[in-house]
Amino acid sequence: MRFLHTMLRVGNLERSLQFYCDVLGMKLLRQKDYPDGKFTLAFVGYGDESDHTVLELTHNWGVEEYDLGDAYGHIALGVEDIYAACAEIVAKGGTVTRAPGPMKHGKTVIAFVTDPDGYKIELIQTASQPETQTDQVATVEVA
């Protein structure tokens, strides 16, 4: 077995596609309308579904907002340079809600961004960075 995809319900599909594709750099892999069910599915990701886990964005027609509740956590993405990634996200109009830095009670460098529907996305530094990189935290705007 392997993970195929994770699904998020979104209130505005075009706005969400702009965020995931233009801001986070994913590609729209496929999209299909289901008129009888009044919904659209769009699959985005960093590679082909045959060998990558992807994200399914579900837009139920006529629903513009969802209560995210308190059970949802976040999606995690690995990035080689978290400081550059956050700066690029901000430059493209995204919102960094937790600036890059070591996680509480650990050394892993993380940051959080929020998508247009309020879903949290954790960025995790995958490449080791020199200690001097922590000085860059101030260069990333946090909402």
**Is 59 within 8 Å of 10 (Cβ atoms)?**
yes
CA–CA dist 79, 18 (Å, integer)? 20
Is 88 assigned a catalytic role?
Answer: no
5-42 burial code (b ≥16 CB/10 A, e <16): beebbbeebeebbebbeebbebeebeeeeeeeeebbbb
Pick from 90, 89, 136: which is nearest to 109 by CA?
136
- What type of residue sits at position 113? V
Considering the candidates 14, 56, 64, 122, report the single residue annotated as catalytic: 122
Which residues are catalytic, by number?
122
